[in-house]
């Protein structure tokens, strides 16, 4: 079956179901403006809130509920990601993307108006619900309007969104918190969101063929329950109550039981939220695993580098945001040329391999940082880290999209985002647990035997940058040394996961990226070409 002519942004005649509606370069650039604004909203919110948390806690006097401000957002955004993708496959990208923006903005306004910590937690959950659709639907729409072979040309734009949000988040968070107050970290979403909403409503008018469908409500409920149980275990009960605690174990067991139940349900329903047939393709399943492991590993650097800069190097939140620039430069310097080469050659396999090697190398280097490490050393380490991330963040999504039939584009894209988010969520919890446990070990080695009773007090002080800086010498020096040594251990913990990611990148086969005039895959063609002989196609 041949492809249709590129669709216009106006009222093009509907294309046959499963046929691409690729746009011209000019039309793509216009649409990318709205999509990137929506992606920027979600990416920015992941980094801007952390800077304001100390002031929020001070105003609401709710230190015991601090983690819920982050967990509520993480929970709803992760759990809703596959739902947004599946429903958009049924009803079209445009109305769902608009709904995601409106939901996110509503949550932002309500969060800014919160009068207590309970309200803020609830409204952050609303924000997360919208954020779950922003990222996955943006990538799914890109898959609709840009042929896989040409997506590399636009990789720099995607990298710019993540790079800018990584710097702008801590920078804006610091400026707004120190200036008009923490509520403005939510108000600032309004102008960005309204721009995205205007562009998407005006120009994203892609033909969508309606077909008979059934929404898998049971599968949606089960996957939401599984994600909720897992994230509550790793983000809340485990760190607070202990990993052997009855509540933690019950949540983990419940997550496993629900996950198995979800797979069984998806194998039987006619319109699954996540079609299990997608995982028959070695490319899709390989890069889904790679996305999970890289998400697991990368959050160690993204979370603990700002802590190191603020606690050890005594930088303000604003200056620590600027200090992360080498990582952003690394992302740009790798994502733009690799994307161009991918578009030129149609090949991509080498980039995730190099990515895993570079990220692992950066983690090894970061594990050597100490109290007196010069900033230029840290800048080189961050540049290497950024280069590794830039080589794979979007390339693996493109490869996965290229390996599935078009009617599953939204589902496949949101599933990739889901796995990366889950990796990041679990990685964050694991790293936090490692940091806490290793901190006490290192403090026990550093603090003189006659003052061992201070270990718990110093470990508690390490939970707050302000508390650390308020300590007197030599206690301050002991606490900071213990914190740095524990961070070094955290970076090393990521290496086994990166080694598995490297193996996955090597053994995952490659399929030539489809061009503008290539025929779309048939409904059953979910497996890559190399795996077809082994019976991966159905």
Give CA–CA dist 41/439, Å, rounded. Answer: 34
Same domain (yes/no): 204, 231 = no
Same domain, yes or no: 46 and 114? yes
99 and 78, same structural domain?
yes
Nearest-angstrom CA–CA distance, 284 and 401: 8
Q: Which residue has the higher pLDDT, 307 or 361?
A: 361
Contact 463, 256 (CB under 8 A): no
* Torsion angles phi and psi, residue 32, rounded to 5: -60, -30
Confidence (pLDDT) at 357: 96
Residue 257 has pLDDT above 90, yes or no: yes
Quick check: 189 pLDDT over 50?
yes
> What is the average pLDDT across 269-286?
84
Lowest mean pLDDT among 21-35, 198-212, 282-296: 198-212
Range of 32's domain?
1-210
Same-domain check for residues 7 and 137: yes
Radius of gyration of the chain (CA): 23
**Whole-number pLDDT of residue 408:** 73
Judge if 89 and 162 occupy the same domain: yes
Residue 441: band (very low, low, confident or very high) from pLDDT cuts 50, 70, 90: confident
| The pLDDT of residue 521 | 53
Query: What pLDDT, in 10s, does the model give residues 4-14?
Result: 333 333 333 34
Is there a domain that residue 391 lies in?
Answer: no
Length of the chain: 538
- On whether residue 533 sits in a domain, the answer given is no
User: How much is the mean pLDDT over the chain?
Assistant: 78
pLDDT given for residue 213 in this prediction: 62
pTM of the model: 0.75
Helices (H) and strands (E) in the chain, counts: 22, 0
Predicted confidence at residue 473, as pLDDT, reads: 81
Higher pLDDT, 383 or 16: 383
Per-residue pLDDT averaged across 142-167, rounded? Answer: 70
Closest by Cα among 384, 91, 367, 382 to 210: 91
Residues 243 and 430: beta-carbon distance below 8 Å: no
Question: CA–CA separation, 35 vs 27, rounded Å?
Answer: 13
Task: Report the CATH number at residue 205.
Answer: 1.20.1250.20
Q: Are residues 202 and 222 in the same domain?
A: no
Q: Greater confidence, 169 or 355? A: 355
Q: 415: closest CA among 241, 266, 254, 197?
A: 266
Q: Which of 44-58, 64-78, 355-369, 435-449 has the highest mean pLDDT?
A: 355-369
Is the domain of 186 the same as that of 225? no
Same domain, 178 and 243: no
Number of independent structural domains in the chain: 2
Last residue of a domain, one of 189, 210, 231: 210
411 pLDDT more than 60: yes
Instruction: State mean pLDDT over 429-446.
Output: 80
Residue 253: per-residue pLDDT: 94
């Amino acid at each position: 079956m041949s492809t249709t002519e590129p669709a216009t942004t106006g009222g093009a005649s509907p294309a046959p179901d499963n046929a691409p509606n690729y746009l011209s370069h000019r039309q793509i650039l216009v649409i990318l403006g709205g999509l990137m604004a929506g992606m920027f909203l979600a990416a920015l919110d992941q980094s801007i809130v952390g800077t304001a948390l100390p002031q929020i806690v001070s105003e609401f006097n709710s230190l015991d509920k601090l983690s819920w401000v982050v967990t509520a957002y993480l929970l709803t955004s992760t759990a809703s990601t596959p739902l947004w993708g599946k429903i958009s496959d049924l009803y079209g990208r445009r109305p769902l993307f608009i709904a995601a923006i409106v939901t996110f903005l509503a949550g932002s306004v309500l969060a800014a108006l919160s009068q207590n910590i309970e309200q803020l937690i609830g409204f952050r959950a609303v924000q997360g619900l919208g954020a779950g659709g922003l990222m996955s639907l943006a990538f799914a729409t890109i898959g609709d309007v840009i042929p896989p072979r040409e997506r590399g040309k636009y990789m720099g734009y995607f990298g710019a969104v993540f790079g800018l949000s990584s710097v702008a988040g801590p920078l804006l968070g610091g400026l707004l918190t120190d200036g008009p107050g923490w509520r403005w970290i939510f108000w600032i979403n309004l102008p960005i969101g309204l721009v995205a909403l205007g562009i998407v409503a005006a120009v994203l008018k892609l033909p969508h063929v309606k077909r008979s469908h059934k929404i898998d409500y049971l599968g949606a409920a089960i996957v939401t329950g599984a994600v909720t149980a897992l994230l509550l275990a790793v983000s809340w009960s485990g760190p607070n109550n202990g990993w052997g605690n009855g509540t933690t174990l019950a949540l983990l067991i419940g997550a496993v039981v629900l996950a198995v139940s979800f797979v069984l349900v998806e194998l039987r329903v006619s319109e699954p939220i996540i079609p299990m047939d997608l995982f028959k393709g070695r490319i899709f399943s390989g890069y889904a695993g790679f996305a999970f492991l890289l998400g697991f590993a990368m959050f160690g650097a993204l979370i603990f580098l700002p802590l190191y800069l603020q606690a050890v190097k005594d930088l303000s939140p604003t200056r620590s945001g600027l200090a992360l620039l080498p990582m952003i430069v690394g992302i740009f310097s790798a994502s733009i040329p690799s994307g161009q080469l991918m578009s030129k050659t149609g090949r991509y396999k080498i980039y995730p391999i190099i990515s895993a090697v570079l990220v692992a190398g950066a983690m090894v280097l970061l594990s050597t940082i100490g109290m007196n490490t010069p900033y230029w050393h840290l800048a080189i380490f961050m540049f290497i880290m950024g280069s590794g991330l830039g080589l794979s963040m979007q390339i693996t999504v493109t490869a996965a999209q290229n390996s599935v039939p078009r009617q599953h584009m939204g589902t496949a894209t949101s599933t990739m985002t889901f796995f990366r988010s889950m990796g990041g969520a679990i990685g964050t919890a694991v790293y936090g647990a490692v940091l806490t446990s290793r901190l006490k070990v290192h403090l026990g080695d550093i603090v003189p035997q006659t003052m061992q009773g201070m270990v718990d007090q110093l470990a508690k002080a390490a939970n707050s940058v302000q508390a650390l800086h308020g300590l007197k010498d030599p206690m301050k020096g002991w606490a900071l040394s213990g914190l740095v040594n524990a961070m070094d251990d955290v970076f090393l913990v990521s290496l086994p996961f990166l080694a598995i990611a490297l193996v996955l990148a090597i053994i995952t086969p490659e399929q030539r990226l489809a061009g503008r005039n290539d025929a779309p895959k048939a409904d059953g063609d979910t497996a890559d070409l190399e795996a077809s002989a082994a019976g991966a196609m159905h």
